[in-house]
Structure 1
Amino acid sequence: MHLHCYSWTGAGEDRELEGERRPPPPPADADVFLASPLPPMRTCDWLLKPAQRIDASPATVREAVEWLADRYRAAEPSFLRPEDEARIGLAVRLAFAEQDLGSGVDVQWGIWLTAGRFFTCAVICCSPNRHADYPCPIR
């Protein structure tokens, strides 16, 4: 197993565009899904996005957790409800992420930001993924 990291920040209302967030069943044309910058509905479907969408491919779970921490900290000044996030806290999020990724479980965080924006970051387990038998997007 190896890991790929993805992120997206945009207008929260765009998440309602489910047609862009779901890959169509074969043999339908997947161009809309592939071209869309929106995060997929299913976490594992990040692996269907073009390889250019990969932000990082950490060599270890520890590096993936550090990537998540960096993304969280970068978004933190814009959190819509920082007091709600403080109830969970970054340390707890990171501990669960390390445990989950070490067990081969994908991790995705989504947080509302100011001005109606939404932030999501994900670390996806690849080759194999528990939820889909997708080929690696870079191999």
Structure 2
Amino acid sequence: MHLHCYVWSGIGADLRNEAERRPPLPPADPGPFTASPLPPMRTCDWLLKPARRIDASPATLDDALAWLAEHHRTTRSAFLRPADEARIGLDFRLETAREALHNGVDVQWGIWLSGGRFLTCGVVCCSPNRHAAYRCPAS
């Protein structure tokens, strides 16, 4: 198993466009889903997006956690509800992410930002993924 990291930040209201966030059932044209910049509804479905959407492919679990922590830290000043996020805490987020990824479970963080924006950071287990039998987008 290896890992791929994905990030999206944009207008939160755009997330309502579920048609662009769900891959079509075969044999439908995957164009709207794969072309959309929006994050998928299911974390594992990031693997169906083009390889250029991969933000990082960390070599280790610690590298993946560092990637998550960096995105959390760099957007901290824009958190819509910093007190709520502080109650959760980055250490707790990282602890639960470590446990999930160690067990082959994808991790997706979603945080509301000021101005109606939303940040989502995902680390997806690849080859294999426990939720879907997708090929690696980087191969």
Query: TM-score w.r.t. structure 1 length?
Result: 0.99
Amino acid at match of 1:38: L
Instruction: Tell me how far 1:99 sits from its aligned partner.
Output: 1.0
Report what 2:37 is aligned to. Answer: 37
CA distance, structure 1, for counterparts of residue 79 and residue 85 of structure 2: 8
What's the Cα RMSD here?
Answer: 0.4
Q: How many pairs does the alignment contain? A: 139
CA distance, structure 2, for counterparts of residue 117 and residue 138 of structure 1: 29
Secondary structure class of the residue paired with 2:71 = helix
TM-superposition CA deviations, 1:28-68 (whole Å, max 9, x none) = 00100000000000010000000000000001111000000
Instruction: Tell me how far 1:75 sits from its aligned partner.
Output: 1.1
CA distance, structure 2, for counterparts of residue 53 and residue 18 of structure 1: 19
Identity of aligned residues (%): 67
Alignment of 1:50-61 (within 5 A): 50-61=50-61
Secondary structure class of the residue paired with 1:14 = helix
CA distance, structure 2, for counterparts of residue 4 and residue 74 of structure 1: 20
Instruction: Tell me how far 1:87 sits from its aligned partner.
Output: 0.7
Alignment of 1:1-139 (within 5 A): 1-139=1-139
Unaligned runs of 5+ in 1: none
CA distance, structure 2, for counterparts of residue 133 and residue 72 of structure 1: 29
CA distance, structure 1, for counterparts of residue 51 and residue 74 of structure 2: 23
Secondary structure class of the residue paired with 1:98 = helix
Query: TM-score w.r.t. structure 2 length?
Result: 0.99
Unaligned runs of 5+ in 2: none
Instruction: Tell me how far 1:25 sits from its aligned partner.
Output: 0.2
CA distance, structure 2, for counterparts of residue 74 and residue 53 of structure 1: 20
Instruction: Tell me how far 1:124 sits from its aligned partner.
Output: 0.1
